[in-house]
């Protein structure tokens, strides 16, 4: 979603007339669709990849409310988040549910290209989603048609503990120099400057995204994601040089490859680390009574004057092409996507709601992200969501290796370039 | 009817009994293997159209540094797993004593066999953890810092194999304990009369009787080493940066994460050829004494 006016996505412009229209539209849709739905009394199956219990509960609650209203039985099958990434490829082909969760952007496009997701432009039209979604609609649009509904947005950046920063008199770094000097201070305080666990590889790619967006900007970054720029391009060198400088300065957790992000987040929560690069879901690493101590700061500037581009990843929900009850699925999505239901669902993961008519959040991390997004001039999603999955696999591995062995830069880039040529037939 | 049955039952009955197993084996193993080999000649993402590429996948394998790492790691697995039968035998001899409370000790040695290999993997991941693991506690006790085994590209495979050896040794131990129970008392008695004890007794009287058991232990160990996958997946996901990947894991990674089913099938085929060579040798050695009527 390389849209340059993400601000619209989050500024909750008062649109009373529009809201009235939407309300009327939903009511009409409910009236026309409600009757046949009851007559059919079918079962609707949903496959969910939601990991956290509270969000599952909210989904279950919404489903129960829908059951009561429509008389359609809703069955939710919960899957492990990581296992779901592999399972979806087979169940979309054989045994598709009526609704499933996935990721918007390039990852969605992979299935759209293979005609595995249903075109739900009619639902967009009927519910007039385009007017409330703004740029977020772009993340689920391929060739002018919509193939899913965008869910919560995750804004990536640096997180820290407010109490630790207040106690030490630190401020979140705004430039590379400040980041390096903060790193020195953290180290002399016996803390890890930036907590990073790369066992699952992707956290290293997030750091690469930040660096590349800050140094080369959004257009070049997206060109790299689309396989149009070589990994051995001279523009890539400063990114890795700067990154190597940070690694050699001891900024990141030692032995980072032996643990995952949860342990890295725990180090931040336990005041063993000063900062961490993640999105709002970092709060799962914190005990509930300390979650209000989490502070958010954008990734520091590197090239002066470069516009602020960020990773802003949007999850999404879809109707598979092979679903049995496509009409009921649309009906449920319309219900699920009502502002109240949607915001209740997103609140639990501190995600930014894609609709601009959702009630304001009570969650400080969401509001911090919303506030921060106002100065973002464009966004990518995340390395493994923006580029080809095959490329992403090699890339993630390469970045993980680079963080452990920065002196192997040339070999790694060479390898990535071979992979890029193979995949994008460049 | 009854004459037909009488004339033909010598082959009808066994055929009927073998049918279900043969059918299942044919569909699940033979057909699936044949299809895998077929797929390895295509460029296929698992969903869309297959595109015939001939031997291109295999040519690419030869140039793939990751493939060489996987192959090397498989050899490390194979070599280290060879420790399992002798260790199992040593433990079995040790535990095969008529001492009070030995049953409890024996069952303690069986524990890893009861655990799912995923559990073993998770437990060892904790043991190896450089910050709070048992290993770091032990090293800390002596005032040293434990190496982060799972993030060192040179040590990681050895660390994973050690974890996998634990249940494998227990398995060999069980096999040998069963074998030791079936020793012929007559032969041992005769040996004792001839003055054999200690090493000569073990080497000339006991071990020859354990020949078949050793053979099974060896075969199971080799196959276990070649198809190693779960431990790698649980403990390292092939990392750091692919340095602990084995063929089976690389096949999975290429097919599932990189969406390259053709390439994954080519890796599977290579693994299949290696295994087939071993199994052919195994069957030959197993069948030879049978055919000779020994």
**What is the model's pLDDT at position A9?**
43
> Are residue A361 and residue A259 in the same domain, yes or no?
no
As given in the structure block, the two tokens for residue A165 are: 């920063």
Residue A407: domain span: 155-311+378-424
pLDDT above 60 (res A422):
yes
- Percent of chain A past pLDDT 90, that is, above it, reads 50
User: Of A90-99, A109-118, B200-209, where does mean pLDDT reach its minimum?
Assistant: B200-209
Sketch out chain B's domains with CATH numbers.
1-39 (no CATH), 56-291 (1.10.3720.10)
Q: What is the mean pLDDT of chain A?
A: 85
Assess whether A112 and A30 both reside in one domain.
yes
Six token digits for residue B103: 């049953």
Is there a domain that residue A410 lies in? Answer: yes
Q: Is 0.85 exceeded by the ipTM?
A: no
Whether residue A306 is found in the same domain as residue A348: no
Specify the pTM: 0.79
Strands A43-48 and A192-195, how do they pair?
Answer: unpaired
pLDDT for the residue B293: 60
Q: Are residues A166 and A292 in the same domain?
A: yes
Same domain as A113, residue A19: yes
pLDDT beyond 80 at A35? no
Whether residues A207 and A118 share a domain: the answer is: no
Mean pLDDT of the region A210-236: 93
Does residue A143 carry a pLDDT above 80? yes
Yes or no, beta carbons of A258 and B253 under 8 Å apart = no
Number of Cβ pairs closer than 8 Å across A and B? 60
pLDDT of the residue at A232: 94
**Taking CB atoms and an 8 Å limit, are A256 and B151 in contact across chains?**
yes
pLDDT (tens digit per residue) in A164-174:
999 999 999 99
**Which region among A107-111, B133-137, B200-204, B268-272 has the lowest average model confidence (pLDDT)?**
B200-204
Identify which of B48, B130, B256 has the shortest CB distance to residue A258. B130
Q: Does the beta-carbon distance from B151 to A89 stay under 8 Å?
A: no
Token pair for A127: 């519910």
Verify that A50 and A97 share a domain, yes or no. Answer: yes
**Mean pLDDT in residue range A83-106:** 88
Judging by beta carbons within 10 Å of its beta carbon (0-12, 13-18, 19+), is residue A422 exposed, middle or buried?
Answer: middle
Element of type H or E holding B161: helix B156-181
Residue whose tokens read 């060489």: B68
Please report whether residue A1 resides in a domain.
Answer: no
Q: Which of A88, A205, A257 to mutate to test the interface with B (most CBs of B within 10 A)?
A: A257
Give the lowest-confidence range in A19-28, A394-403, B220-229.
A19-28
Higher-confidence residue of B127 and B184: namely B127
Over residues A189-207, mean pLDDT: 92
Kind plus residue range of the DSSP H or E element containing B52: strand B51-52
Q: How far away is chain B from the Cα of A98, in angstroms, using its nearest Cα?
A: 19
* CB contact B147 to A (< 8 Å): no
In the structure encoding, which two tokens stand for residue B101, read together? 């409370």
Are B241 and A257 a contacting pair at CB < 8 A? yes
Count up the domains in chain A and report the number.
2
Residue A193, in any domain of the structure: yes
- Residue B259 in contact with partner chain A when CB distance is under 8 A: yes
A116 and A14 within one domain: yes
Confidence of residue A426 (pLDDT cuts 50, 70, 90): low
Do B130 and A389 count as a contact with CB atoms less than 8 A apart? Answer: no
Would residue A216 count as lying in a domain? Answer: yes
The CATH number of whichever domain residue A227 belongs to comes to 3.40.190.10
Mean of the pLDDT values across residues A160-164? 94
With respect to residue A109, please indicate whether it lies within any of the assigned structural domains.
yes
A20-29, A225-234, A310-319: the lowest-pLDDT one: A20-29
A259 within domain boundaries:
yes
- Asked if A33 and A167 sit in the same domain, the reply is no
How confident is residue A337, by pLDDT bands cut at 50, 70 and 90? Answer: very high
Helix (H) or strand (E) holding B42: strand B42-43
Crossing angle of helices A16-40 and A53-70, in 10° steps, is 70
* Nearest CB neighbour to A255, from listed B46, B148, B257: B148
**Does residue A2 lie within any of the structural domains?**
no
B152-191 pLDDT, tens digit each: 889 999 999 999 999 999 999 999 999 988 888 888 888 8
| pLDDT given at position A15 | 41
B81, B221 Cβ separation under 8 angstroms: yes
pLDDT band at B1 (very low <50, low <70, confident <90, very high): low
Are both A166 and A266 inside the same structural domain? yes
A221 and A184 part of one domain = yes
What's the pLDDT at A351? Answer: 85
**Banded pLDDT at A336 (limits 50, 70, 90):** very high
Distances (CA, A) of A3 to A125, A137, A351, A388: 21, 10, 19, 19
Q: Which of A263-272, B18-27, B69-78, B136-145 comes out lowest in average pLDDT? A: B136-145
Domain end position, chosen among A373, A389, A405: A373
Indicate if A58 and A142 belong to the same structural domain.
Answer: yes
């Amino acid at each position: 979603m390389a849209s340059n006016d993400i601000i619209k996505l989050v500024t909750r412009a008062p649109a009373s007339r529009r809201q009235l229209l939407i309300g009327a539209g939903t009511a009409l849709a409910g009236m026309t669709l409600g009757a046949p739905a009851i007559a059919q009394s079918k079962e609707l199956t949903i496959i969910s990849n939601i990991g956290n219990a509270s969000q599952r509960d909210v989904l279950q609650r919404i489903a129960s409310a829908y059951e009561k209203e429509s008389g359609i039985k809703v069955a939710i099958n919960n899957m492990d988040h990581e296992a779901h990434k592999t399972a979806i490829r087979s169940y979309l082909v054989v045994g598709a549910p009526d609704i499933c969760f996935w990721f918007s952007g390039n990852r969605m496009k992979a299935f759209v290209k293979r005609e595995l997701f249903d075109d739900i432009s009619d639902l967009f039209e009927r519910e007039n989603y385009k007017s409330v979604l703004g740029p977020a609609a772009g993340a689920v649009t391929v060739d002018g048609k919509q193939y899913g509904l965008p869910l919560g947005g995750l804004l990536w950046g640096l997180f820290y503990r407010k109490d630790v920063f207040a106690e030490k008199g630190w401020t979140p770094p705004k430039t590379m120099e400040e980041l390096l000097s903060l790193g020195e201070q953290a180290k002399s305080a016996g803390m890890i400057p930036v907590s990073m666990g790369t066992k699952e590889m992707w956290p290293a790619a997030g750091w690469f995204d930040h660096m590349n967006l800050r140094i080369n900007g959004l257009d070049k970054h997206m060109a790299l994601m689309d396989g149009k720029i070589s990994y051995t391009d001279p523009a890539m060198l400063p990114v890795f040089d700067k990154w190597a400088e940070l690694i050699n300065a001891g900024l990141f957790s030692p032995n980072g490859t032996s643990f995952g992000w949860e342990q890295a987040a725990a180090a931040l929560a336990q005041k063993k680390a000063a900062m961490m690069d993640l999105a709002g879901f970092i709060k799962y690493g914190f005990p509930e009574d300390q979650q209000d101590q989490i502070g958010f700061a954008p990734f520091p500037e590197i090239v002066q004057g470069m516009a602020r581009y960020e990773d802003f990843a949007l999850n999404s929900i879809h109707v598979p092409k092979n679903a049995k009850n496509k009409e009921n699925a649309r009906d449920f999505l319309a219900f699920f996507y009502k502002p109240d239901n949607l915001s209740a669902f997103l609140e639990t993961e501190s995600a930014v709601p894609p609709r601009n008519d959702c009630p304001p959040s009570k969650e400080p991390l969401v509001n911090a992200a919303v506030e921060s997004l106002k100065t973002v001039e464009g966004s990518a999603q995340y390395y493994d969501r923006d580029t080809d999955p095959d490329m992403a696999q090699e890339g993630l591995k390469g970045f993980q290796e680079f963080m452990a062995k920065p002196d192997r830069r040339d070999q790694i880039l060479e390898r990535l370039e071979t992979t890029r040529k193979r995949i994008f037939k460049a | 009817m009854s004459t037909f049955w009488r004339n033909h039952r010598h082959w009808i009955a066994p055929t009927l009994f073998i049918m279900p197993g043969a059918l299942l084996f044919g569909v699940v193993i033979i057909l699936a293997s044949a299809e895998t080999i077929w797929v390895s000649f295509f460029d296929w993402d698992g969903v869309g159209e297959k595109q015939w590429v001939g031997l291109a996948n295999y040519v690419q394998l030869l140039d793939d540094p990751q493939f060489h790492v996987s192959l090397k790691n498989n050899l490390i697995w194979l070599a280290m797993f060879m420790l399992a039968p002798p260790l199992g035998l040593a433990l079995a001899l040790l535990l095969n004593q008529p001492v009070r409370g030995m049953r409890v000790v024996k069952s303690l040695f069986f524990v890893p066999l009861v655990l799912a290999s995923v559990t073993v993997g998770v437990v060892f991941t904790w043991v190896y953890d450089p910050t709070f693991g048992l290993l770091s506690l032990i090293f800390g006790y002596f005032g040293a810092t434990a190496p982060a085994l799972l993030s060192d590209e040179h040590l990681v495979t050895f660390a994973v194999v050690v974890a996998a050896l634990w249940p494998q040794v227990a398995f060999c131990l069980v096999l040998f304990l069963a074998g030791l129970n079936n020793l012929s008392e007559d032969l041992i008695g005769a040996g004792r009369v001839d003055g054999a004890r200690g090493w000569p007794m073990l080497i000339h009287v006991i071990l020859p009787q354990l020949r078949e058991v050793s053979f099974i232990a060896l075969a199971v160990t080799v196959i276990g080493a070649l198809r190693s996958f779960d431990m790698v997946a649980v403990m390292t996901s092939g990392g750091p940066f692919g340095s602990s990947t084995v063929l089976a894991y690389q096949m999975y990674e290429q097919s599932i994460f990189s969406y390259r089913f053709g390439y994954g099938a080519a890796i599977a085929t290579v693994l299949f050829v290696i295994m087939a060579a071993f199994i052919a040798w195994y069957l030959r050695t197993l069948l030879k004494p049978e055919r000779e009527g020994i």
